[in-house]
Amino acid sequence: MRIKDVLQAKSDTVVTCAPDMTVRDLISLLAEHNIGAVIVSTDDRPVAGIVSERDVVRGLVGGVAVLDASVSEIMTTEVRAVAPQDSVHDLMRLMTLHRIRHAPVLERGVLRGIVSIGDVVKSRIGELEFERDQLSSYVSNTQ
């Protein structure tokens, strides 16, 4: 299975924010869309960074003043992106190796989506259910 297949099962909407957005507003954005991370983008960079719930929690270690700080102060700037034609298995390896839960999908420098660990698990469950059904059908037809 390819990442483009995972994206087809998702909404076309990719939630982004500006680096100067406050962490407080970021939390509202995450809650509003029921998501765990957003891509940080600027006019000239579609992926300037990524910021997740984990980044917020790590920032709170220093106190609640981080809520009024800008997203750029807590975001991850070394973003691990993938392409639509990459395999889901390669994405699972990437997520495991770098301990990440979200990866933006870029195609020729254009942001096409974001894939979460939940999307990966859902696609893998779908594959396993399909294989189970195929095997079950095969066994039923051979008896």
Rounded CA-CA distance 45/39 in Å is 11
* C-alpha 19, offset from chain centre: 18
pLDDT value at position 136? 81
Residue-wise pLDDT tens digits, 72-81: 999 999 999 9
The CATH number of the domain holding residue 107 is 3.10.580.10
Per residue in 7-45, pLDDT (tens digit) is: 998 877 899 999 999 999 999 999 999 999 999 999 889
Q: Which residue in 118, 120, 122 sits closest to 86, CA to CA?
A: 120
What domain range is 55 assigned to?
A: 3-142
Tally of domains in the chain? 1
Q: Could you write out the DSSP letters of every residue in 61-114?
A: TT-GGGGGSBGGGT-B-S---B-TTSBHHHHHHHHHHHT-SEEEEEETTEEEEE
